[in-house]
Amino acid sequence: MKSAAPDFPGHWKVTRVASLPEVPPLEAHQLPPERSITVPPGRTVVVVNDAQRPTPTPWLLERLDIDWRRNDVTVAVAAGSHNPPTESELREIFGEFLDGLRSRIVVNRATEDSFLLAGKTRRGTTVEVNHCLEGASSVVCLGSVEPHYFAGWTGGRKSLVPGLCSLETMRLNHRLVLEGGAPGKLEECPVHLDLMEGTGLVGKWLGEERCELRGVNVIHHGGRFYGFSSSPLLSTVSELNRRGEEVYGRHLESRYPVVVCLVDPPLDRDLYQALKAFENWKSAVAPGGILILAALCADGTGPPSFRQFMEAAPALEELLAGADRDYSLGDHKLVSFLRYLKGGRSVFLVAGPGLPTPAVSLRVFHDMDAALEAAAEHPGGSARRALVVQDAAHLYPLL
């Protein structure tokens, strides 16, 4: 269920960002029919997203011309460092395909599985990939392209790196976010460039002459299709990112004293995922202003590696000094948050009752009206001018 848009008192001047874009969706004849994408014979690994992304995976599975009864077909869930999907999440991911595929589904467990070394990037990321890829003659990565706050865009290369990699590979790649990154930006984005190189190493390790890496990706927003690509994996994002900007980018004439970010499922499940909305829209907040993040957070804080956000937040300088030698997955979100606060802006969180009080300066409310009342009394919100963004974890500002 989508987050309900807040009701502001009459003396507020409110601008609302449209969830759906102005560009039209694709028509049926512009999309591939069922079983129209040929997959070469031989051992095949089909890679799918977990339930943390709103990818229409069953629809994508239907496009592949594969006999799903084949014993040499493996389906890998690119869970990265996320928790393994629950039974209900597996049903959400696979739909009617689940029962027939269950015995051949592999879920990436970043701290438990065995991984094989594919190489090391020039930026120092050791690329360790899940053993399920070994010996594949075809790897087909199904995904969706959406803005990503430090890799530029999801999709394509992220299915393999970090989706089917070890925790150490993720740690080494994600530490590069401290050098910069923004949603919708690929040029000179260190995380993206490292992911591209890492995925290229996986291709070489598998044997480019005998194993095809293919990306079958969509731009799917609000239940509609806006883009489709079936191409070599390393080309997927570059083929779709311009269309993605039209779909997900929202032009703003100025920054706002108060920005209300409403996080829709599935990214409202925990704080770790919900903070993607904060990352996407923090640049839209005027100096001294407030970002109000509204997410249910029914599953709490998120992965254990992120627990420091709630329990003990070290100083920004301490985190940055130890980043190279002792970076932990999730530190980048804490660094970004502390940098934002240091700039004189504030963050309010409207969440369910089960979330503990965080160690960082994050005011937690369980009612939007209370958060708006506090914002009105805050010096940064005294102008009573607000921007409201529905589906804020997917949209991003163009300033």
Burial class (CB in 10 A: 0-12, 13-18, 19+), 285: buried
| pLDDT averaged over every residue in the chain | 92
> Count of domains in the chain?
2
- Is residue 1 assigned to a domain? no
Name the domain boundary from 247, 272, 306. Answer: 247
pLDDT beyond 80 at 134: yes
Residues 136 and 283 in one domain: no
Three-state SS at 221 = strand
pLDDT beyond 70 at 223: yes
- Is residue 261 assigned to a domain? yes
Residues 309 and 333 in one domain: yes
- Is residue 6 assigned to a domain? no
CA distance 105 to 323: 36
**What letter represents residue 126's amino acid?**
T
* Arithmetic mean of pLDDT, 172-194: 92
pLDDT beyond 70 at 257: yes
% of the chain residues with pLDDT over 90: 74
- Is residue 24 assigned to a domain? no
Ranges of beta strands (E only) in 145-255 are 147-148, 152-153, 212-221, 224-232, 249-251
- Is residue 5 assigned to a domain? no
Higher-confidence position of 322 and 254 = 254
Q: How many CB atoms lie within 10 A of CB 28?
A: 7
Name the domain boundary from 225, 247, 269. Answer: 247
Residues 319 and 374 in one domain: yes
Name the domain boundary from 215, 247, 279. Answer: 247
State the alpha helices, DSSP H only, in 282-327. 308-311, 316-321, 323-326
* Arithmetic mean of pLDDT, 352-377: 86
* Arithmetic mean of pLDDT, 59-82: 95
- Is residue 233 assigned to a domain? yes
pLDDT score recorded for residue 307:
64
Residues 350 and 365 in one domain: yes
Q: Say if CB 321 and CB 344 are below 8 A apart.
A: no
Residues 288 and 163 in one domain: no
- Is residue 26 assigned to a domain? no
- CATH code for position 276: 3.90.226.30
Residues 189 and 219 in one domain: yes
pLDDT beyond 80 at 156: yes
Residues 127 and 207 in one domain: yes
Residues 82 and 217 in one domain: yes
In 3D space, the residue among 148, 155, 150 whose CA is nearest the CA of residue 227 turns out to be 155
- Is residue 25 assigned to a domain? no
Residues 204 and 305 in one domain: no
Residues 234 and 329 in one domain: no
Residues 157 and 259 in one domain: no
Running DSSP on this structure, what letter comes out for residue 95?
A: G
Domain that holds residue 158: 31-247
Higher-confidence position of 214 and 6 = 214
Least confident of 2-6, 266-270, 315-319: 2-6
Residues 238 and 128 in one domain: yes
- CATH code for position 147: 3.40.50.11440
CA distances from 352 to 188, 257, 266, 303 (A): 38, 25, 15, 18
pLDDT beyond 90 at 259: yes
Q: Enter the pTM of the model.
A: 0.92
